[in-house]
Structure 1
């Protein structure tokens, strides 16, 4: 299926419905919101007996990042909705957004390592169809990619177009948004899930869901990039794709939630053992990108849970775990093959500030034996490459406080401590202090 031919059809469909329909209603696009997020982050100097081009800078670094977004949607006949989002990124991440599996600022979009242009771009452009399967409904408030109104609690849902796989999979109430929650990549996503995406995190694809009050089943298939950390996506889903299926269980509306996911990627990927064998035969450093062959696979699993404890769920805990086979090249998200994380959020209602909250979490990331051997021989990926490796699991602690001085504005001091940065026991520990400001309208 070629999504490049589908998207113009969607645009024509939107244009035809944006005039009077059979019931004489006018379908007018709605502005759903806008946001601006500023992050000022400082990386302190660290112990560094050696380094490569992708290492954390031993002398430390201070960088600022800015993201802007505007979000639109329109209700159409036949249970259809259309969404269109525009964003822009400026600035850099510390150490060029490299040197770690769990990078410290989820808003930098790896722009430093990929050289992305600093200009507006279309983030999402997709059609959503939601077919009610019953009469029960819930109220839906206006929000990013969420039109206000009522929605059936039992429904079939289909999305097609440009979007992010993480819009629908691996969601978590307490660790899901880098602009208002944890900033470290290993705490707002399952980093072992190497989901299909371009460098900015978006792709074209299809998502199918069967939604019920106590459980949901979702399946998504999306285009992969041509190359690791690449901005250009393959021309069709038949060329290479990332697929995932997720079961969500929530027996009670205000109770715990468990999500179980499996994924499989087909892409033009390198194989770590093959790259090592070539290096041994030639006397060169291994180069995973030079070993790219069409039709290679990566598969893995993920689980996450959330448990509200008090304060209408504003106080609660979460946990995530992820694993992938680690045989083929880390390709689209980051270089993590195993991850385990968990944390706690405490509502500010306990000190008279119900809009505030404090949160702390830990994450432990690891690599497969083939991946670590590749790095130990001097190989590089797209975020890792110290030139050598004395392997140890990357260990991350992050704490932040969300202060809401008035509605729409959130200020968040943030601190992160990372042992064995880049999985290298010879380096670090690394410390990061930051201040985040998030304005949402």
Structure 2
């Protein structure tokens, strides 16, 4: 533990020094360095639960702390080309070892495989811009973005290790649990079983065609060897995740907006719920959807994601997503259909322009086959109360306030109300209180 804490402080000191040295000449430097540290403390009081199972949120009062620190290093290679390297340290855990709620309240815990702090490689990828015109924009130095001239009309190729959600299903108001809403089903489309290992990363290729008004993205990446597993399946011809997104940039009056349409298809060892139930009732197979035994499991679906600036201070966003719900969830979370809507308000009216208040609501649901599997007594990798005799949609409301303390530090307080956790009307509701510290350099 002491060695890990020392390394965190060392990384922070390196980035602060680099930031101070390159602040005035950053646009000329071929290198950049950034750092983030996010600590989230959450608690929930005791709640009503007449029974619990293997993957239930524990009804006794709980408190949990998660921590992630990341070094973002980038280098400009030649015209339009750059490479990025992100070592990351994470530790802590979510409530009840991060199980018991499909829309789990801490979006940082999906990257954490164990409670002990661990150092690992989060991202290592190459990016190449190919100009399709002469017009360019100067893009400022940022996380995983060196300062450079980027063609307005272009093809972008990204290859290596990354989080597929870095490039798909983005939203200005609801996408980053380190600075925005913390709930899993608000940071990404809930029904998109986006390919990733336990910590949220994958390997593959993304190609993007972009103009000022339209963007089309295509991605193909690896999936885990078993549900929510740490190891990616190298048998690409038998197991992969494919995704396409079409983005239209809008302007209503003077206010910007964006609409994104996403489609996905995953192929893996994910078992079919009906087949597993049949094998279990016939005493020929176990009630297991975590460890698939054969390739060919297919999950497909779509998502619609919108954001619109209403005033200079106020923004509206929404998402809706659906998947077929026949094969087991393999990577993200156990949601087969989901809808969310929310508002984001900047603090100009109370003379805190860099503060943010957000409020949102989510409704999550699962397919009939998924329900029947849980009712039979099965567990997924995140939910399973031992039975499901009173199915209801999982309904979540979240509000947070983020205060900017200085150039590097933001403090947030949040509240989440979770009705029918894991789609079980016999359990809950759950009240979750959060405090978040975020340092970004």
Task: State TM-score, norm by structure 1.
Answer: 0.90
Output the CA distance in 2 between the equivalents of 1:119 and 1:291: 28
1:73 corresponding residue in structure 2: 74
Counterpart in 2 of 1:39?
40
Q: What's the counterpart of residue 300 of structure 1?
A: 301
| Structure 1 unmatched runs, 5+ | 1-26
| Contact 1:271 1:292 (8 Å CA) reproduced | no
Instruction: Report matched runs for 1:354-393 at 5 Å.
Output: 354-389=353-388, 390-393=390-393
> 1:110, CA displacement in angstroms?
5.8
Q: Deviations over 1:49-103 (max 9, x none)?
A: 0001210111121011111010011111242111111111011111211001100
Counterpart Cα distance in 2 of 1:174 and 1:437: 18
Aligned equivalents of 2:95, 2:335: Cα separation in 1: 19
Instruction: Map 1:270-349 onto structure 2 (within 5 A).
Output: 270-282=271-283, 286-289=287-290, 292-311=293-312, 314-349=313-348
SS at match of 2:182: coil
Cα distance per residue 1:308-359 (max 9 Å; x no partner): 0122xx4200000000000001000011000000100111001111010111
Report what 1:166 is aligned to.
165
2:91 touches 2:115 (CA, 8 Å); kept in 1?
A: no
Q: Give the CA deviation at 1:30.
A: 2.0
User: 2 CA distance for matches of 1:439 and 1:130?
Assistant: 30
168-177 or 231-240: bigger deviation: 231-240
State whether structure 2 residue 106 is matched by structure 1 residue 105: yes
Aligned to 1:421: 421
State the 4+ residue runs in structure 1 displaced beyond 3 angstroms: 114-117, 251-254, 289-292
C-alpha distance in 2 between matches for 1:255 and 1:405: 28
Give yes or no for the alignment of 1:49 onto 2:14. Answer: no
Answer yes or no: is the 8 Å Cα contact 1:392–1:425 preserved in 2: yes
Change (3 A) 1:85 1:223: same
Distance 1:350 1:294 in 2: 56
TM-score by length of 2: 0.90
| TM-fit CA distance, 1:284 | 7.9
Structure-1 residue corresponding to 2:214: 215
> Where does residue 9 of structure 1 map in the other structure?
none
The aligned counterpart of 2:91 is 90
Question: Do 1:285 and 1:378's aligned partners in 2 also have CA atoms closer than 8 Å?
Answer: no
Q: Does 1:265 pair with 2:259? A: no
Residue 28 of structure 1: how far off its partner (Å): 7.4
Give the equivalent residue in structure 1 for 2:396: 396
| Structure 2: distance between partners of 1:328 and 1:284 | 16
Deviation string 1:16-43 (CA, Å, 9 cap, x unpaired) is xxxxxxxxxxx97623310101111002
- The equivalent residue for 1:14 is none
How many Å separate the matches in 2 of 1:291 and 1:230?
12
Task: Give the aligned length.
Answer: 411
1:385-411 CA deviation, whole Å, 9 max, x = no partner? 100112100000000001112121111
What CA distance in whole angstroms lies between the structure 1 residues aligned with 2:423 and 2:30? 48
Q: State whether residues 227 and 291 of structure 2, in contact with CA within 8 Å, keep that contact through their aligned partners in structure 1.
A: no
Q: Distance in 1 between matches of 2:369 and 2:299?
A: 13
> 1:424, CA displacement in angstroms?
0.2
- Specify the alignment match of 2:119 in structure 1: 120
